[in-house]
Amino acid sequence: MAHVRFDRVSKSYPGGHQALTDLSFELAQGEMAFLTGHSGAGKSTLLKLIMLMEKASQGQVLVDGVNLARVANSQIPYHRRRVGVVFQNHQLLFDRSVFENVALPLRISGYTSRDLERRVRAALDKVGLLSKEKQNPIELSGGEQQRVGIARAVVNKPSLILADEPTGNLDPKLSGEIMGLFEQFNGVGVSVLVASHDLALINRMDYRVIGLNQGRLAGERAAGGVRG
Amino acid sequence: MAKPSASNQQSRVTMQSQGSAYIQHHKLMAVDSLKRLLAAPAASLMTWLVLAIALSLPMTLYVALENVKQLSRNWDQSSQISVYLKKGVMSRFADELTAEIADFPNVSSAVYISPEQALKEFSVSTGLSDVIFGLDDNPLPGVISVIPRLNSQDENGLEQLQQKLEALRHVDSVQLDLIWVKRLYQFMELGQRLVWALAALLGLAVLLIIGNTIRLSIENRRDEIRVVKLVGGTDAFVRRPFLYTGLWFGLGGGIIAWILLSIGLFWLSGPVEQLISLYGSDFSLKGLGFSDSLLLIFDGVILGWLGAWLAVSRHLSTIEP
């Protein structure tokens, strides 16, 4: 079964802006794929629909076979706990330590201190920031901040990770490291969907690419299509 | 549905650990929100003072009213009914009548004051003995002074007693010296309603003050709320720190109000007791009892919590990721 499935989805905003038009695609369980397109092509809207930050105007979005249109408002938080998200501006909170930033999803899900500490340290270790857990994220570099964001996205062990321009502000070397992290998560069975317009980076990696143009599917390239 | 192994491990939290995590988070939020208040001591103190003043005003009026009530209870017991006898009633009949009245179930005592006795008392108390000696005839009637066994709740009882006395032989008229007591009761009834009205208005003010303060703190933590909602925080989770903030505001306001009131009472008690003692009463100013104090502080807490709740439910829905 597809992990994420868009079935003829359209999204228009009040005021008439058509963000997505008649879009259909599937992301398989355990698949990693890129979502590309110019800014305004609808990448962010697509991710927001999966996160239930927006609801489709037409068509159906299914995650794990659940039609998101049928998810009651009170159930939205529980849906979001099953999806890890990474943002371009990483959305960290600067009033607390790196540790507390990463711990937030676990506190929300109801973990006790002991479990929580173990998991937070494991996530920070995975992104190579275990030594900086007590620092405030504002003291970290851009690449490190993004890695904290990733640690927060994976600390709850979601089966699906979404990333919206995760390398937007980073140089090629750091970008490569970040993508490497996503590859690692994908390697243990997590489905990953990365929105990015960094074509150079995408072309270096051998994954499926879904192209969007003005809210429509503009073309797909299957994995394995990259030459040496 | 075949899920990858990663998702099977995700969110595996037992009910028990979830419960203790819930309590842990409550503690965390309670401490955290208090720390935030204390981190801005001047602003918090100002809010606390405003709340304290709003809380203490109706309570002050309430205490004043309680004291007047206590004072009037003494007067209430000394209230009496004067039964004026017709002129020329012989003292033998008057004595019989007095004994009869004294046997009434709702009469505590009855004393006959003869016209001669009354005249003597009158001349002594007024110093007009010369004038009185100049009179040919004693103008005063015989009076039976009746002290009713008063049940303060039962106003009709007094009137019935009055009617019963009026119907007796030899009785000219019955004077109930209670009209002013009744008036006092009316005033106190009015005062009580005033307390309620004031309490309602100022309670509303407390709600608005706290609501506005919480609204500001929601604005300040907009980013945090957005992130919490994004990573799956429920509304209850998002609401929690703000409810605790409101609770701390209310508790602080209540305690300061109590302190203000206690200082005020202490300051007033000396002069008030001196004043009352001039009237020969051993009245002592009644302060805030334990239950009243608890009520005051509890009201503060409830209003604080409620104000926060209103503000949060109004403003939280506008912050969506």
CB A186 within 8 A of CB A192: yes
User: How far away is chain B from the Cα of A57, in angstroms, using its nearest Cα?
Assistant: 18
Residue where a domain stops, chosen among B132, B156, B177: B177
Residues B46 and B51: their CA atoms lie apart, in Å, by: 9
| A14 Cα to chain B: minimum distance (Å) | 16
Contacts of residue B320 in chain A, CB cutoff 8 Å?
A: 53
Q: Which of B10, B227, B237 sits opposite A91 (nearest CB)?
A: B227
Torsion sign over Cα B115, B120, B126, B130: positive
Structure tokens at A17: 């802006």
Whether residue B268 is contained in a domain is answered as: yes
Cβ within 8 Å, pair B6-A112: no
Cβ distance of B21 and A152 shorter than 8 Å: no
Quote the pLDDT of residue B75. Answer: 62
What is the Cα–Cα distance from B232 to A80, expressed in whole angstroms?
A: 5
Structural domain harbouring A158: 31-55+75-221
- Cβ distance of B4 and A190 shorter than 8 Å: yes
Q: Which of residues 125-184 of A touch B (CB under 8 A)?
A: 152, 156-159
SS3 B147: strand
Tell how strand B143-148 and strand A58-63 pair up: unpaired
| CATH number, position A183 | 3.40.50.300
B14 falls within a domain = no
Tens of pLDDT along chain A (228 residues) come to 788 999 999 999 888 888 889 999 999 999 999 999 888 888 889 999 999 988 889 999 999 989 999 999 889 999 999 999 998 887 899 989 999 999 999 988 888 888 889 999 999 999 999 999 999 999 998 889 999 999 999 998 999 999 998 888 788 888 888 899 999 999 999 999 999 988 888 888 889 999 998 888 887 787 765 443
% helix, strand, coil for chain A, step of 5: 40, 25, 35
Cβ–Cβ below 8 Å for A190 and B20:
no
By C-alpha distance, the chain A residue nearest B25 is A107
Same domain, B85 and B64: no
Q: Both tokens of residue B137?
A: 């005839």
The tens digit of pLDDT for each residue in B201-235 reads: 999 999 999 999 999 999 988 888 999 998 889 88
Query: Tell me, what's the pLDDT at B6?
Result: 40
pLDDT score of B182 more than 90: no
Structural domain boundaries, residue B191: 21-74+183-318
Question: Does residue A226 lie within any of the structural domains?
Answer: no
Residue B11: what are its φ and ψ, rounded to 5°? 55, 30
Nearest chain B Cα distance for residue A60, angstroms = 19
Tokens linked to B48: 């606390």
- Our CA angle for A51, A86, A162, nearest 5°, is 50
Residue B8 lies in a domain: no
B195 and B290 both lie in a single domain: yes
Burial code (b: 16+ CB inside 10 Å, e: under 16) for A124-149 equals bebbebbebbeebbeebeebbbbbbb
Q: Are A30 and A159 in contact (CB under 8 A)?
A: no
Q: B54 and B102: one domain?
A: no
A9 inside domain: no
Question: What residues of B are in contact with residue A158 (Cβ under 8 Å)?
Answer: 6-7, 10
Q: Whole-angstrom Cα distance, residue A19 to residue B214?
A: 36
Provide, for chain B, the percentages of residues in helix, strand and coil under a 3-state DSSP scheme, each rounded to the nearest 5: 75, 5, 20
Residues of A in contact with B28 (CB under 8 A): 107
CA distance A3 to B19: 31
Number of domains within chain A: 1
CA B27-A122-B5 angle, to 5 degrees, is 105
| Within-domain flag for A120 | yes
Does the beta carbon of A91 lie under 8 angstroms from any beta carbon of chain B?
yes
- Which tokens sit at A217? 């599917």
CB contact under 8 A, B24 and A82: no
Contact B230 A91 (CB under 8 A): yes
Q: Which two tokens stand for residue B111?
A: 């004393």
Residue B6 lies in a domain: no
Q: Could you tell me if residue A12 is inside a domain? A: no
pLDDT at A124: 94
| A95 vs B: CB within 8 A | yes
Residue B248's pLDDT is 95
**Closest-CA residue of chain B to A91:** B227
Residue B2 lies in a domain: no
- Could you give the CA distance from residue B220 to residue B224 in angstroms, rounded to a whole number? 9
Sign (positive or negative) of CA dihedral A213, A218, A221, A226: negative
Q: Are B13 and A80 within 8 A, CB to CB?
A: no
Domain of residue B126, CATH code = 3.30.70.3040
Q: Are residues B139 and B272 in the same domain?
A: no
The residue among B160, B177, B194 that closes a domain is: B177
In a domain, A126, yes or no: yes
A189 touching chain B per CB within 8 A: yes
Q: Give dist(CA B223, CA A180) in Å, integer.
A: 29
- Answer with the one of B131, B159, B177 that is the final residue of a domain: B177
Span B8-41, pLDDT tens digits: 444 455 666 677 778 888 888 889 889 988 988 8
Q: Do residues B63 and B195 both lie within one domain?
A: yes
DSSP B104: S
The whole-angstrom distance between residue B316's C-alpha and the CA centroid of its chain comes to: 37
CA distance A149 to A137: 10
Task: Say whether both B292 and B199 belong to one domain.
Answer: yes
| Percent of chain B whose pLDDT exceeds 90 | 21
Statement to judge: residues B293 and B192 lie in one domain:
yes
How many angstroms separate the CA atoms of A159 and A3, rounded?
9
Residues of B in contact with A53 (CB under 8 A): 230, 320-321
In-domain check, residue B3:
no
Residues B238 and B118 grouped into a single domain: no
pLDDT in tens, B85-105: 888 788 888 888 888 888 888
Nearest to A79 by CA among B14, B74, B11, B17: B11
Chain-chain contact of A53 with B320 (C-beta, under 8 angstroms): yes
* B215 lies in the same domain as B298: yes
B191, B311: one domain: yes
- Contact yes or no for A77 and B232 at CB 8 A: yes
pLDDT tens-digit series, residues B270-314? 888 787 777 666 667 777 788 888 988 999 999 999 999 999 988
Q: Are residues B268 and B207 in the same domain?
A: yes
Task: Tell me if B15 is assigned to some domain.
Answer: no
Cβ separation of B21 and A112 shorter than 8 Å? yes
Nearest to B5 among A92, A105, A189 (CB): A189
Q: Is A29 on the interface with B (CB under 8 A)?
A: yes
* pLDDT recorded at residue B142: 85
The domain tally of chain B equals 2
First-to-last C-alpha distance (Å) of chain B: 30
Residue B4: pLDDT band (50, 70, 90) is very low
Q: Choosing among A157, A162, A185, A190, which should be mutated to test the B contact, i.e. which has the most B CBs within 10 A?
A: A157
Beta strands in A29-97 (DSSP E): 32-36, 58-63, 66-67, 83-86
Question: What is the residue-wise DSSP string for A1-35?
Answer: -EEEEEEEEEEE-TTS-EEEEEEEEEEETT-EEEE
The whole-number pLDDT of residue A183 equals 93
Structure tokens at B186: 């009316």
Structure tokens at A148: 């904290």
Q: Do B223 and A91 touch (CB under 8 A)?
A: yes
Does a structural domain hold residue A60?
A: no
B241, part of any domain:
yes
Angle, CA of B36, B40 and B42, to the nearest 5°: 145
pLDDT by residue (tens digit) across B48-83? 999 999 999 888 888 888 887 777 766 655 567 888
Residues B154 and B235 in one domain: no
